[in-house]
Amino acid sequence: MSNLTVFGTKEWAPQSANIVEGCSNNCKYCYAREMAVRFGRREPDKWNMEVYRADWASKKYNPTNGRIMFPSTHDITKGNLSWVIQFLSRILEAGNEVLIVTKPQPECIKSICDSFRQYRDKIMFRFTIGSLDDRVLSFWEPGASKFTERLLSIQYAYFNGYKTSVSCEPMLDGHPELLAEVFLPYVTDAMWFGKPNFLIRRLSRNGFVDNISYKAAMTLQQTFSDDFIHKLFCRYESNPKIKWKESIKKVLNISIPEEIGLDV
């Protein structure tokens, strides 16, 4: 397999699962939204409307090698939590390990943690956050949770004995070290850094063609220069809890695994 194919979710898990089409987070940079628009499955301004997909949720999952990443194209919200609990029950009872990736809402994380204590060894949370600044989060992710909600979520999972990790992809400002300072004490596995991918293209296809969004995207791309990435790497080179997504590995000439799901 060409290492060019090991990108995005495939860096973390050999397979992914979803039960909802659309996402209320309404992130401007969303890759799933771009793909849905590109292949004519959804109009850009309808993506924030969540549609439960019973055909996806009822899929049978036998025990697999490697984790199942869930979800990968939507998020876990109070509106779909009951479906999420049912789905997680089925795949965990089948003996699978699950990587739960979310911009977390504390109520949802508490419910998941409290419901699946007997499966703690099969679950790892990966909480996504790209900035400490709620103004930045609200600009890029207008429907997603705030900074404090995400911090409370990882703290709850950590203090309840779950494996925890953080995805800072995409980084949304030039201060990822501040995120590391706040979140690393509650990380049992790793914190991932990654640049925004195809940002201008995704903004355009996702319907965010205003000048403010375009200028913000250009500024963000300029922030993550090769020099910035090299300095960030030097800062955390000896920290075993910091990992790098493919977008950063390419800048640093770090080898990319040739098999999916190896960078767990």
CB 167 within 8 A of CB 101: yes
Q: What is residue 3's predicted lDDT score, i.e. its pLDDT?
A: 45
Kindly report the average pLDDT of the chain as a whole number: 93
Residue from 62, 70, 69, 75 nearest 22 by CA: 75
Q: How does pLDDT run across 88-111, given as a tens digit for each residue?
A: 999 999 999 999 999 999 999 999
Given a cut of 70, is residue 9 above it in pLDDT?
no
Domain boundaries, the chain: 3-252
Q: What is residue 40's predicted lDDT score, i.e. its pLDDT?
A: 93
3-state secondary structure of 244: strand
SS (HEC) of 84-127: HHHHHHHHHHCCCCEEEEECCCHHHHHHHHHHCHHHHHHEEEEE
Q: If you average pLDDT over residues 55-67, what whole number do you get?
A: 88
Terminal-residue alpha carbon distance, the chain: 18
What interhelical angle do 106-115 and 81-93 show, nearest 10? 30
Q: What is residue 13's predicted lDDT score, i.e. its pLDDT?
A: 87
Q: If you average pLDDT over residues 45-70, what whole number do you get?
A: 92
Percent of the chain whose predicted confidence (pLDDT) is above 90 = 88
CB 174 within 8 A of CB 228: yes
Q: How does pLDDT run across 185-243, given as a tens digit for each residue?
A: 999 999 999 999 999 999 999 999 999 999 999 999 999 999 999 999 999 999 999 99
Domain 3-252: top CATH class: alpha beta
Lowest mean pLDDT among 1-15, 128-142, 167-181: 1-15
Residue from 163, 137, 164, 167 nearest 149 by CA: 137
Q: What is residue 249's predicted lDDT score, i.e. its pLDDT?
A: 94
| Angle, alpha carbons 78-124-256 (nearest 5°) | 120
Given a cut of 80, is residue 137 above it in pLDDT?
yes
Q: What is residue 2's predicted lDDT score, i.e. its pLDDT?
A: 43
What is the distance between the alpha carbons of residues 199 and 172, in angstroms, rounded to a whole number?
A: 11
Given a cut of 70, is residue 260 above it in pLDDT?
no
Please list the helix, strand and coil fractions of the chain in percent, rounded to the nearest 5, in that order. Answer: 45, 10, 40
**pTM exceeds 0.75, yes or no:** yes
Beta pairing, strands 163-168 & 191-193? parallel
